[in-house]
Amino acid sequence: MTYAWVITFDLLNPATEGEFIGSGYYGDEVGTIGPGDISPELKKKIEVLGKYPGHIVPDGFEKFKLFDDDGSLYYMGIITGDYEGFEPLDDFGMPNAGCTDIKYWDNKKKSYYSL
């Protein structure tokens, strides 16, 4: 599969006051890109979005959220490419912080849903 994701909000490792930029919320993992073997083309596409969290997501990209088993939101991000849906959870959320659920934004319903 050819896909790429980026973490745009980190609620597990909160930012210090000096790291708040506009309405963006920055933490330790913001800007983390995966998977480790992505193509340079996909990396370039996804890097740009990681620098501007909270902005409108262009066509071909989807917003996701990663949660722990208590339902606490840990991370938010954006994904693009050919993927099944669990990749950010498997690549990053579970091994990095023990996340157990991923939800994607449904633009028609204007809400997130679990896979």
The mean pLDDT of 57-67, rounded to a whole number, is 90
71 burial type by CB count under 10 A (0-12 exposed, 13-18 middle, 19+ buried): exposed
Residue 83 pLDDT level (bands cut at 50, 70, 90): very high
The mean pLDDT of 37-47, rounded to a whole number, is 88
| Every domain of the chain and the residues it spans | 3-114
Cα gap 14→88, rounded to integer Å: 20
- The answer to whether residues 11 and 73 touch, using CB atoms and an 8 Å cutoff, is yes
**Does residue 23 carry a pLDDT above 50?**
no
Output the six-digit token pair for 36: 């480790």
Residue 48 pLDDT level (bands cut at 50, 70, 90): confident
